[in-house]
Amino acid sequence: MSHDETNESNPFSSPMAPEIRTATTNAQVGPGFLCDGTALDSFAQGGKLMGEHFWLLLGLTILSMVIRAVGDYLDNAFNAAGFEPSLGVLLLGTAYTIFISIPVSTGLAYVFLLPARGQQFELGDLFAAFQRNYIPAVAAGFVKVILIMLGFLLLVVPGIYLAIKFAFVEYLVIDRKLSTLDSLKESWHMTNGHELTLFVIMLLSILIFIGGMLLCLVGVVFSIMWISAAYAVLFYYAERLRQNDDMPKPESTSDNPFAN
């Protein structure tokens, strides 16, 4: 069922302006939350995004955290039940992280992307990866993590650079339904010219997350929301730029070499 079909009947759908209720998933709807391409404005527009859709985004962020925490605390759960740690438990936790946590994390990125564009979103979008592009989403998330970890083993700097270049993978693999390799390649190209901005966003995200941890669980949830919103807003900005670059340029009808 499409987003516009569920808008009137789904109590979990976000409030949308009438002119964009029938929007399809593309970058030309909106206007959404437009930033100027800087890190500070990405966070500024991300904050506005949070404010406009606060309760639904809060609920979906908490739900995603709970789902992912199951894999993180699986060992503790077995220990509490009286079972000794074993290879089977370790493999089960790893499988849960790869096949459940990764697509849920990808779904959370999609949840923030839709309102960043000015589109409707709802509860089911958190699980969109399972429906839209499951295997590539799992593989892309896994490969991205492995490559970044290998990069950090090579004196940190390569890991930071790879984290920047692959920052858009989650959006591309679920929104455009690209293959694993294509989502990695497209993210690499889309981040061209935005490396410094993404680096600053990364640094600010660390500071925001540390600040959130000082405020315990509530602060962590708000930190994740704000950081997710900032990345989604910047992706929307980069998407619009790339779309404009791909548009055919009109041929000049004048012989004047100085004509536009």
Q: Give the largest CA-CA distance in the chain.
A: 84
Give one word for 76, left, alpha or beta, with left for phi > 0 and alpha for psi -120 to 50. Answer: alpha
C-alpha span between 14 and 55 (Å, rounded): 9
The set of long-range contacts for 90-96, using a CB threshold of 8 Å and a minimum separation of 24, is: 96/70, 96/71
Question: Looking at residue 206, what is its pLDDT?
Answer: 96
DSSP type of residue 176: S
- Per-residue pLDDT tens digits for 44-94: 999 999 999 999 999 999 999 999 988 777 666 666 666 666 777 788 888
Q: Splitting the chain (260 residues) into consecutive groups of 10 residues, what average pLDDT does each group show?
A: 43 37 42 94 98 97 94 68 71 91 97 97 97 97 97 94 98 97 98 97 97 90 98 97 69 44
Is residue 209 within 8 Å of residue 227, measured between CB atoms?
A: yes
Two tokens at 22? 């029938």
Question: Model pTM?
Answer: 0.82
Q: What is the pLDDT of residue 242?
A: 85
Q: What is the pLDDT of residue 253?
A: 44
In a 13 Å sphere around the CA of 231, the CA atoms on its Cβ side amount to 28
**Residue 53: enclosing H or E segment and its boundaries?**
none
Give me the pLDDT at residue 233, please. Answer: 98
